[in-house]
Structure 1
């Protein structure tokens, strides 16, 4: 069977987090990763996407292992203004 677990707008950092959540359930024999050279490098180096929305990301430690950062994901400025009374009325 085939599972399409792709999510539009995800960078490879978010895809890795998603795959780690799915792996125990679906136990894939093969994983196909599509990498876009136009934007994935930039997306993987920051925790901000689409004009201010935040996302998890990874940093590389001195020994080369990946360290997950930005979790839980903080609210973006746009959502903070939309959801909170004080910022909306300043």
Structure 2
């Protein structure tokens, strides 16, 4: 299991969550961030830092955003890792 970045991140891309991640499992896409499910250690540090409440434990992802579980897993292979805070899109 892992944490998942969902729809509220799209178009925002706040990176507050990235700097608290102890395992550097975040990846940066054009419009949002993604979490590598293979690297995530389920520490919960990122959730509290997300100002738009976009990060959920995999079992708790709301029904309307279930496709983001697979999207995160797919996009980490296509996007670069991010470990530093950047200016959000909004």
Q: TM-score range by the shorter chain?
A: under 0.3
Give the helix-richer structure, 1 or 2.
Answer: 1
TM-score by length of 2: 0.24
- Larger of the two Rg values belongs to structure: 1
TM-score by length of 1: 0.24
